[in-house]
Amino acid sequence: MNKFATVIMAAAAAALLVTGCSKSDSSKIKVGFSQVGAESDWRKASTESIKGEAAKRPNIELTFSDAQQKQENQIKAIRNFISKGVDVISFSPVVSTGFEDVLKEAKEAGIPVVLFDRAVDVSEDGLYVSFIGSDFVEEGRRAARWVLENVGENANVAELVGTVGSAPAIDRKKGFEEIIKDHPGIKIIKSQSGDFTRAKGKEVMESFLKSPEADQIQVLFAHNDDMALGAIQAIEEAGKKPGQDIKIVSIDGVKTMFEAILEGKANCTVECNPLIGAQLFDVVEKIHAGETVPARIPSQEGVFDSKNITKEVVDGRKY
Ligand code: GZL
């Protein structure tokens, strides 16, 4: 082979190598994720699950954004992911409405969307390919069933509602009320949002305990453990015994709530599993490979109280 041909072949081989190298970069699946925020222990565990799982998968390139519980930040992040040309977008919507336009933009850009943890209300199909998360209505039902089975047919309930307009707040309330509607002795006498945070939960519980109905409250139903833990502080500061004077049932199943139940300061937590990062990236890989994925992927969860919480169970909790 003459010298000129050798040079051309070498250059072509080098180009292939570079292309090959750049091709290996493009083989990474680029995922844009918008997280609600860091409002609760549950959310922090959710974020750790997502970031931890992405770090284990060399084929995943994760761009993660924290919306600080603001919808406008989530919409901005999703638009950034679209302009960046990611392969898949996923997010946990802070509220269930107001995402239709940006989801249509993602669809027009040909970028599949996976809903994580929470669902959205949209008027047309095809704006997301799958929803991975818990059944919040069932979680609300489980909380109400625990009250009926462990407190009885008559109880005045104070309710700490989650973030107004969010799927878990809407659906947990719906599930709780679906069960108690057939039991008129169970009455919700106070209800206000604590925005899923410990600080706000404490503040609202303090206002409940200063209200005319204060001494009628027999049960606290909190839409998440963080608000319940804040309420426990408020109940103690008011000179009452949480878990005894006021029974406490909440949702999430975080370790600090397990510890409070073990101490007798709370009574029940309905598990809502945040550790679904692996399920997310399994779905992402299937989508990227052109495979079909289930439209709905539910999480598996239990109900925990003093009957099944031991120190060993607490020590074994992963979040
Ligand atoms: C539920 C999740 C909720 C948790 C809260 O899946 O969206 O948001 O219950 C968190 O702790 O703020």
Confidence bin at 298 (pLDDT 50/70/90)? confident
Q: Kindly state whether residues 242 and 207 are assigned to the same domain.
A: yes
How far does the centroid of ligand 1 lie from the alpha carbon of residue 92, in Å? Answer: 10
Q: Kindly state whether residues 140 and 233 are assigned to the same domain.
A: yes
How far does the centroid of ligand 1 lie from the alpha carbon of residue 42, in Å? Answer: 6
Percent of all residues in the chain with a pLDDT value above 70, rounded to a whole number: 92
Mean pLDDT of 138-161: 98
Mean pLDDT of 100-107: 98
Q: Kindly state whether residues 107 and 175 are assigned to the same domain.
A: no
Is the per-residue pLDDT at 26 higher than 60? yes
In a domain, 6, yes or no: no
Which residues span the domain enclosing 99? 29-134+274-288
Confidence bin at 231 (pLDDT 50/70/90)? very high
Q: Which of 39, 136, 160, 272 to mutate to test the pocket of ligand 1 (most atoms within 8 A of CB)?
A: 272
CB 132 within 8 A of CB 93: no
Mean pLDDT of 151-155: 98
Q: Kindly state whether residues 171 and 193 are assigned to the same domain.
A: yes
Is the per-residue pLDDT at 4 higher than 90? no
Beta bridge partner(s), residue 192: 160
Q: Kindly state whether residues 309 and 162 are assigned to the same domain.
A: yes
Is the per-residue pLDDT at 238 higher than 90? yes
Helices 225-237 and 198-210: angle between axes, nearest 10 degrees: 40
Q: Kindly state whether residues 147 and 240 are assigned to the same domain.
A: yes
- Encode burial over 259-280: b for 16+ CB neighbours within 10 A, e otherwise: bbbeeebbbbbbbbbbbbbebb
Q: Kindly state whether residues 278 and 246 are assigned to the same domain.
A: no
In a domain, 8, yes or no: no
pLDDT tens, position by position, 208-225: 999 999 999 999 999 999
Q: What is the pLDDT of residue 107?
A: 98
Q: Kindly state whether residues 70 and 163 are assigned to the same domain.
A: no
Confidence bin at 10 (pLDDT 50/70/90)? very low
How far does the centroid of ligand 1 lie from the alpha carbon of residue 40, in Å? Answer: 7
Q: Which of 35, 39, 43, 163 to mutate to test the pocket of ligand 1 (most atoms within 8 A of CB)?
A: 43
Give how many domains the chain has, as a whole number.
2
SS3 string, 108-167, reads HCCCCEEEECCCCCCCCCCCCCEEEECCHHHHHHHHHHHHHHHCCCCEEEEEEECCCCCH
Is the per-residue pLDDT at 20 higher than 80? no
Q: Kindly state whether residues 114 and 245 are assigned to the same domain.
A: no
Q: Kindly state whether residues 196 and 96 are assigned to the same domain.
A: no
Percent of all residues in the chain with a pLDDT value above 90, rounded to a whole number: 89
Atom of ligand 1 nearest to the CA of 166: 7
Is the per-residue pLDDT at 67 higher than 50? yes
**Residue nearest ligand 1's atom 1 by CA:** 168
In this structure, what token pair is assigned to residue 106? Answer: 């993602």
Q: Which of 41, 42, 273 to mutate to test the pocket of ligand 1 (most atoms within 8 A of CB)?
A: 42
Atom of ligand 1 nearest to the CA of 223: 9
CATH number of the domain to which 169 belongs: 3.40.50.2300
Q: What is the pLDDT of residue 17?
A: 33
Instruction: For Cα atoms 83, 76, 124, give the angle at the middle one, nearest 5 degrees.
Output: 85
In a domain, 297, yes or no: no
How far does the centroid of ligand 1 lie from the alpha carbon of residue 287, in Å? Answer: 26
How far does the centroid of ligand 1 lie from the alpha carbon of residue 251, in Å? Answer: 9
In this structure, what token pair is assigned to residue 13? Answer: 């081989």
In a domain, 9, yes or no: no
Query: If we measure between CA atoms, which residue out of 227, 205, 173, 220 comes closest to residue 40?
Result: 227
In a domain, 15, yes or no: no
Ligand 1 pocket list (CB less than 6 A): 39-40, 42-43, 117-118, 134, 168, 196, 224, 226, 251-252, 272
In a domain, 20, yes or no: no
The contacts of residue 214 (CB under 8 Å, 6+ apart) are: 208, 238
Q: What is the pLDDT of residue 27?
A: 80
Is the per-residue pLDDT at 18 higher than 90? no
Q: Residue 47: which H helix or E strand, with range?
A: helix 41-56
In a domain, 175, yes or no: yes
Q: Kindly state whether residues 106 and 254 are assigned to the same domain.
A: no
- How does the average pLDDT of the chain come out, rounded? 93
Q: What is the pLDDT of residue 127?
A: 98
**Residue nearest ligand 1's atom 3 by CA:** 168
Is the per-residue pLDDT at 15 higher than 90? no
In a domain, 90, yes or no: yes
Q: Kindly state whether residues 263 and 119 are assigned to the same domain.
A: no
Q: pTM of the entire structure?
A: 0.90
How far does the centroid of ligand 1 lie from the alpha carbon of residue 117, in Å? Answer: 8
